[in-house]
Structure formats: structure tokens, C-alpha cells
Homo-oligomer: A and B are copies of this chain.
């Protein structure tokens, strides 16, 4: 137990301690541990034994500094308290851990400036970046992607690898669902102006509405938070629509709460469709009809794409675009249009 070696204070062991213990050079220890083939099997085993005995743990800082690889990947999300990102984060975390990488999670607070400076920071302390729902401009994103490996989630910029969640097509499903229930006056409760998802969704939706000959108006923008739901609900009621497709579940759930307060029944008086199927969408009152997609998997895919880019070994064909399917999950918040 108690080591009688000269080194081994209470301070963590280094390769030099191992080297001294084994009577070899530090570089040999380094090789034995990271390029085992480069070292004779007997020395290697001696070194590995010594490493275990000393509870050696490589210093990741030093490793990063000398090798240029940090073994970390930055994950940027606009709002850590938005349940949508929970599953995403878990997905990235699991996949990164499986590959031996560390996740650096940063909340960019929906600010493009924080996002930009974080990207700059991470340039040194991470091998790559995953950016969810970026608030940066296309140009800024392209520039960032040129400087270091970067994968976006829910942000489509030509030339930047991306995982896209196909909410636009789900939006059409939602529209058809509402039409089949007899709704003809429908509103889209828009998300932030800087959100590309919101814009894409609106484009699809208004196109589909025209094809089908129904009226869909756009209201908002609304912040993607539950509190914004109150304003959204009031706007919807005032506009005279009978159904709403909300930018996301947070807004939708906020609307449910507000409508209840105002004595407006869902779905009898008003139907509501959310997006994302976040935690809570299944147990709110009434349960929310929403557009669901495999978010955790989206995180995993993003990590895979990034790692493929970091280690371009075999495989070659690293896709740089992946679209996650989305489907409508119908629950209690949508129903037949009122007869009025």
C-alpha cells in the first residue's frame, strides 16, 4: 500500500513518476500508454503495471497543449432551461462519452454575441462544436465552420454540416389534421425572428395553406417560453381563429394555461398544436397535440457527424446533412372546429 518510492507525494502521479519507477524515459511511458505498438511488450507491461499502481491519470490539459487535441466538444444551446434541449443534451452527452470525449455544455442565453464569443473561446479548448438553434448569421456561421469542425442542429446553412429536424413537413401534417377537423381559420404563433426554424416552418405552412385553400395567418413573434403563451393566447382569440399551430410546446402550453384562465375551452372553442413533444406535453391539460421527433437521436447523429469529421479515417463518406423525421402526435388539445 504505502509506496516507498521517492516520488508519490499526495500529488497526482505523472508520466515522470512512472518513468522513474520503471527506470525508463518519460517519452517511453508516453508511448507505452498512447502508442502501445511502439514499445516492447515487456516494458509496456511494466509501465502499465506501474501506472495502475500509481493511479496514474493523464493530465488532459497537458495532453491538449502538446497534441493539439483536447478530447472535448462544445455543445451550445440557446436556453438550458428549455426542456426541448434536455433530450438533445442527453443524446450528445451519451454519444460523446461513448467515444471518449468530454462535453462542454454552454448556455448562450439566446444571444448571438454570447454565442459568437463562446465559439471563439472554444476554438482553443475544444476539438469541435455542436450548435443548436444558432442565432448567428449565415456568414458568421460559415466563418466559424471554416475555423473549426462544427455541426449545427436545426440550422440549415449551405456548406455547414447540419442535423435538421423536419418540422416543416410535420407542420403540413398538422395543417391537414386541423383541416380534417373542419378548421379554416388558423394561426401560426411564430417564434423569434432570428430563429431559422420558425421561418422555415412558416414558409412551408403558408405555402401548404394556399394549396389547400385555407387561411393561415402569422401572429407574433413570441419568445419561446411558457410566459409568452399568455400573449399568444390573447392574440389568437382576438384574431378570431379556431386553431393555432405554435412555434413550440412551451408557447403552446402557456396558451393552454391562459385559455383556461379566460374560460376558453380547449379543444371545444380552440384547438392547439405544439411542436417538439417536450417533457410535459403528455401530461398538461388537455394533453397537447404536437409534432414529435427523435431529439435525443438528433443529438447522437450530430455527434457522429462531428466525430467523423474529426477522425476522417476509413468510412470516407461522411454525410454532412441529416434530416430527422417528424410526425404528428395527436392528443387532446385538438378537436372539431366549433360550429358557429
A125 within 8 A of B: yes
Shortest CB-to-CB span from A67 to chain B, Å, is 10
B70 near A80 (CB under 8 angstroms)?
no
A124 within 8 A of B: yes
Shortest CB-to-CB span from A228 to chain B, Å, is 14
Copies in the complex: 2
A12 within 8 A of B: yes
Residues of B near A12 (CB, < 8 A) are: 123-124
Bound state CA distance, A83 and B93, in angstroms?
16
Shortest CB-to-CB span from A18 to chain B, Å, is 16
**Nearest CB to that of A93 among chain B residues?**
B107
Q: Count chain B CB atoms within 10 A of each CB in A86, A104, A253 and give the residue with the most.
A: A86
A62 within 8 A of B: yes
**Nearest CB to that of A285 among chain B residues?**
B285
A239 within 8 A of B: no
B70 near A81 (CB under 8 angstroms)?
no
Shortest CB-to-CB span from A288 to chain B, Å, is 10
Shortest CB-to-CB span from A255 to chain B, Å, is 11
With A105-B105, A284-B284 as known contacts, state yes or no: A62 contacts B60, CB within 8 Å: no
Residues of B near A89 (CB, < 8 A) are: 80
Residues of B near A93 (CB, < 8 A) are: 80, 107
Provide the A70-84 mask, 1 if CB < 8 A to any CB of B, else 0.
Answer: 100000000011010
B283 near A57 (CB under 8 angstroms)?
no
The A256-313 residues at the B interface (CB cut-off 8 A) are 256-257, 279-280, 282-286
Residues of B near A104 (CB, < 8 A) are: 102, 104
Bound state CA distance, A254 and B285, in angstroms?
14
A318 within 8 A of B: no
A121 within 8 A of B: yes
B60, B61, B81, B286: which contacts A86 (Cβ < 8 A)? Answer: B81
The A97-154 residues at the B interface (CB cut-off 8 A) are 102-107, 120-121, 123-125
A176 within 8 A of B: no
A25 within 8 A of B: no
Shortest CB-to-CB span from A296 to chain B, Å, is 9
Show 22 A/B contacts (Cβ-Cβ < 8 Å), sorted by A.
A12-B123, A57-B120, A57-B124, A60-B124, A61-B61, A61-B64, A61-B65, A61-B124, A65-B65, A81-B87, A81-B90, A83-B86, A90-B107, A93-B107, A103-B105, A105-B105, A256-B283, A280-B280, A280-B284, A284-B284, A285-B285, A285-B286
Q: Show the binding face of A for B, using Cβ within 8 Å.
A: 12, 57, 59-62, 64-65, 70, 80-81, 83, 86-87, 89-90, 93, 102-107, 120-121, 123-125, 253, 256-257, 279-280, 282-286
The 9 closest A-B pairs by CB, nearest first: A285-B285, A280-B280, A61-B64, A105-B105, A81-B86, A61-B65, A283-B284, A59-B124, A61-B61
Taking A12-B123, A80-B93, A103-B105 as known contacts, 19 extra A-B pairs with beta carbons closer than 8 A to each other, sorted by chain A number, are: A57-B124, A61-B61, A61-B64, A61-B70, A61-B124, A62-B65, A65-B65, A80-B90, A81-B86, A81-B87, A83-B83, A83-B86, A105-B105, A253-B283, A279-B280, A280-B280, A280-B283, A284-B284, A285-B285
